[in-house]
Copies of this chain bind each other. A is one copy, B any other.
Amino acid sequence: DNSKLYCLGSGQQHLNEPLLDHREGQLFLTEAFKVILEEVLCKGIDVNEKVCEWREPEELATLLDLELREYGEQQHQLLQRVRDVAKYSVKTNHPRFFNQLFAGVDYHALTGRFLTEALNTSQYTYEVAPVFVLMEDEVLSKLRSLVGWAQGDGIFCPGGTMSNMYAMNLARYRAFPEVKLKGQWALPRLAVFTSQESHYSVMKAAAFQGIGTENVFKVNVDDRGCMITDDLSEKIELAKSQGAVPFLVHATSGTTVQGAFDPLEPIADICDRQGLWMHVDAAWGGSVLFSKEHRHLMRGVERWESGACSGIQLLECNFDLLKRCHSADATYLFQQDKFYDMSLDTGDKSIQCGRKVDCLKLWLMWKAVGSQGLEERVDRAFAHTRYLVEEMMKREGFQLIGKPEFVNVCFWFIPPSLRGKENSPDYQDRLSKVAPVIKERMIKQGTMMVGYQPLGGRVNFFRMIVISPQLSYQDMTFFLDEIERLGNNL
């Protein structure tokens, strides 16, 4: 029980011994590891188990007994809580989880994350993170070579949104270095350009960084969701005519919904002519750089000034601006009289102080499968996507929204009752209600998870994501069959 693990009472007599019993603590962790292995990793990947165990919020709150109380609980109760949290959480490693832009499990990456958590350090100085300072540098440098740069700088960020925010700040600082000291009042009104289908973080960044969402000019896209560069030129002129000063084009490699790639070469030409910072949000599509067959989707990538890179959420930047733009020179952390090379204390490049270690998981996975293995994963995802699209075209009820450029497969499911009714006046309205109902059914039954959304003039459609390395043809067949099963009576 707890009295073994924690010496109770705060009397003086206890101050002479640690509050924690490490042996008991490690025993608990070991038992909990077994639960994680069983409940999350083994059951999570089993197609006979549910992707999610749906409960209404009130019921779930009761089941979990969330309340935090005055006194602690016994070890066996806590272990049951670990089991419950696992049970009622969504299994994102399940082969039928297609709901977000992440899925599956990589055991080496997961090992790297466990080790990161156990070591519990922060990425600010060589002193406190010697291994990770060097490792982050190696990973960033390797990624720069994929982009095609011999030099540059970079940083791991807590998510793609933060990477995009860094880029916005760097671009502003390069154009107007006085902004750091004086703020935006010293600057003319600025203008950012991004496609209509870019990630919503551009708007969040503009709001957060004092630029203002109305100064984000949305550039038109073609049917596939790719930026129309003629319209980019027009929007730049429009901004200028309103007295705003363009400073940043935020292009996208792999849009969130359609997986579209903006044409980087012509965008880079425009940026060159206009003297604009070109940032590419490749938080989703950047993995194509690993593939000889598919990296053409990002042709021109070496011309970006900065990029938010795939999955791993980091910023690559071809200028040495990170430190100058973000430094605050805290003497308590970045002492200038250390006995080692203080350029290794890279924390002041970050806007964060404490910064979690994010490089280890990627490094260990890369060591495990090699660049060749990463390339194989990318190629495989494209091959699976092709397969799914072909199978979909063979079935009556599936209507693709364009041919995928990437691994996002967007489609409507047309239930039998709506087939051939495209011209009836309530068709769009009825079609818009199909995906939400199918979604509700699949979640409540727990058989799979896939997202839907409206976009532009298109009513609700599904977005299937084909990336998990654990997928096989049979999962795709299951997916199509299951959509039909859930939606055929609508």
Contact = CB atoms under 8 A, between A and B. Distances in A.
Interface range for A: 35 or more
B88 A131 contact: yes
A161 B86 CA distance: 31
A469 B95 contact: no
24 contacts: A2-B368, A10-B380, A12-B383, A16-B474, A20-B104, A26-B107, A29-B107, A33-B114, A40-B118, A68-B142, A69-B370, A71-B373, A89-B131, A102-B120, A110-B118, A184-B211, A185-B189, A185-B212, A210-B210, A332-B453, A332-B455, A335-B453, A337-B433, A338-B440
A61 to B, nearest CB: 5
Contacts of A102: 120, 122, 354
A238 interface: no
B28 A108 contact: yes
A183 to B, nearest CB: 3
Interface in A9-30: 9-10, 12, 14-20, 22, 24-26, 28-30
Contact of A208 (B182, B209, B451): B209
A480 interface: no
B135 A64 contact: yes
A469 B14 CA distance: 11
A486 interface: no
A157 B189 CA distance: 30
A82 B472 contact: no
A471 interface: yes
Interface string A134-147: 11001100100000
A14 B90 CA distance: 28
Given A26-B37, A160-B354, 8 more contacts: A25-B108, A29-B41, A71-B372, A72-B370, A89-B130, A110-B118, A180-B212, A331-B455
Contacts of A380: 10, 14-15, 19
Contact of A200 (B85, B211, B325, B328): B328
Interface in A114-160: 114-115, 117-122, 126-132, 134-135, 138-139, 142, 158-160
B105 A72 contact: no
A334 to B, nearest CB: 9
A18 B471 CA distance: 5
B115 A15 contact: no
A154 to B, nearest CB: 14
Interface string A53-70: 011110011001011111
Contact of A118 (B36, B119, B205): B36
Contacts of A207: 169, 179-180, 325-326, 328
Identical copies in the complex? 2
Contacts of A95: 18
Contacts of A61: 134
Interface string A257-282: 10000000000000000000000000
Interface stretch (A228-236, A356-364, A393-401, A419-427): A356-364
A488 interface: no
A41 to B, nearest CB: 6
B90 A353 contact: no
Contacts of A389: none
Interface stretch (A246-254, A297-305, A315-323, A339-347): A339-347
A331 B325 CA distance: 33
Contacts of A449: 127-128
Interface in A68-90: 68-73, 78, 81-82, 85-86, 88-90
Top-3 shortest CB links A-B: A210-B210, A183-B212, A25-B107
Contact of A15 (B210, B340, B364, B383): B383
